Homo-oligomer: A and B are copies of this chain.
Amino acid sequence: MNLRELSAHLGLSQTTVSRALNGYADVAPATRRKVVEAAERVGYRPNSGARRLATGRSQALGIAFPVDRNLLLDPHFIEFLAGVAATAGEKGYDLTVSPTTGTEDEVYRRFARTRTADAVILSGPAVEDRRIALLNGLGLPFVVHGRTQTPLPYAHVDIDNRGAFRQACRLLLDLGHRRIALINGDEGQTFARDRRSGWQEALAQAGLADDPDCPSCCGAMTEENGYRFARALLERTPAPTGLLCSSVLLAFGAYRAIRDLGLTVGRDVSVIAHDDDLPFLRPHTLDPPLTVTRSPIRKGGEQVADFAIRLATGTPIDQLTDVKPVDLVYRGSVAAPASG
């Protein structure tokens, strides 16, 4: 059933039916009701291609999907994507994912030229990210999940990574810890860089700036790396008594390392991690329950999608920036350091 058939069926013109369905003012309430009802009844849905062609807009959000597996975020990405998809769907938008290996330039070029997406979502921004300039140049609206260094204004939603890790580190310091190590994600990405800054700020405030007993390491956020990093850090002398992990997956590995070394989480080593609220990794089920800075990454996806749609429909960029504060959830993995 298409528009022509539907309007013939109703004895109205295509124009009127179209306008009734799209909420224009100049159609009588009674007519509109009839139209909407009939459309509902026969299950009319506008052909997406035709609508795209006519309006020039695709009612779709685009996102590049890095399929090469070296990307650190796999388990986080899906959760983020779930959020994006949820609100996109809710607002009648499709979500078009395009695979990329290496550079995403080609995908964005295609989005822009074929008008396949009205706005694109940029995730995992690097500290200096060429994509921003590219998208600006292409005139393709975009919103960034995270932040980056650029003079240009850009729509984004982020969490206060720096504040979160400053806070987490301060908690350990206040408890008396003096040797606090950071197990970070890839520091080419802004979120990791920010967390490092937060950690450093707290240390500096405690007079521990660049203290060699407060080491750090970074890399892909896998369980395996968490184990390796934690193990390496804890085998130093003196060993750190506090561990800040950039993801629960890393903390997972850290727990394993701590156990393997005959130590006990919460007694010998305090651990705090950032929790993106992945459904299959629940920090409170660990033993002892893991203290976290918590911010559901899915929520981030939802807000990014919302911003992207608003951007595509004309909301100015400066109204589309948000940086969410992060909660610190105190649990059993943290305690005062053993005296001595």
Tell me if A86 is interfacial: C-beta within 8 Å of chain B.
yes
Chain B residues within 8 Å of A43, by CB: 109, 113
Q: Are A224 and B282 in contact (CB under 8 A)?
A: yes
Q: Are B86 and A99 in contact (CB under 8 A)?
A: yes
* Known A45-B114, A51-B49, A85-B67: A95·B94 in contact at CB below 8 Å: no
Chain B nearest Cβ from A297, distance in angstroms: 12
* Residue count of chain A within 8 Å CB distance of chain B: 61
Chain B nearest Cβ from A147, distance in angstroms: 24
Tell me if A48 is interfacial: C-beta within 8 Å of chain B.
yes
Q: Are B249 and A280 in contact (CB under 8 A)?
A: yes
Q: Are A98 and B95 in contact (CB under 8 A)?
A: yes
The contact of A67 among B46, B74, B86, B97, by CB within 8 Å, is: B86
Assembled-state Cα–Cα distance A58/B120 (Å): 19
Q: Which of A58, A81, A249 has the most CB of B within 10 A?
A: A81
Which residues of chain A in 99-118 are interfacial with respect to chain B, using CB atoms and an 8 Å cutoff?
99-101, 109-110, 113-116
The contact of A50 among B53, B75, B81, B98, by CB within 8 Å, is: B53
The contact of A259 among B113, B114, B259, by CB within 8 Å, is: B259
Chain B nearest Cβ from A265, distance in angstroms: 13
Chain B nearest Cβ from A340, distance in angstroms: 28
Tell me if A279 is interfacial: C-beta within 8 Å of chain B.
yes
1/0 contact trace for A264-285 toward B, CB 8 Å?
0000000000000011111001
Tell me if A165 is interfacial: C-beta within 8 Å of chain B.
no
Tell me if A245 is interfacial: C-beta within 8 Å of chain B.
no
Q: Are B78 and A74 in contact (CB under 8 A)?
A: yes
- Could you pull out 9 A-B pairs where Cβ atoms are within 8 angstroms? A44-B113, A48-B58, A49-B49, A74-B278, A78-B81, A82-B99, A96-B97, A97-B97, A222-B282
Q: Pick the 6 closest A-B CB pairs, nearest first.
A: A49-B52, A78-B78, A89-B99, A85-B99, A45-B113, A49-B53
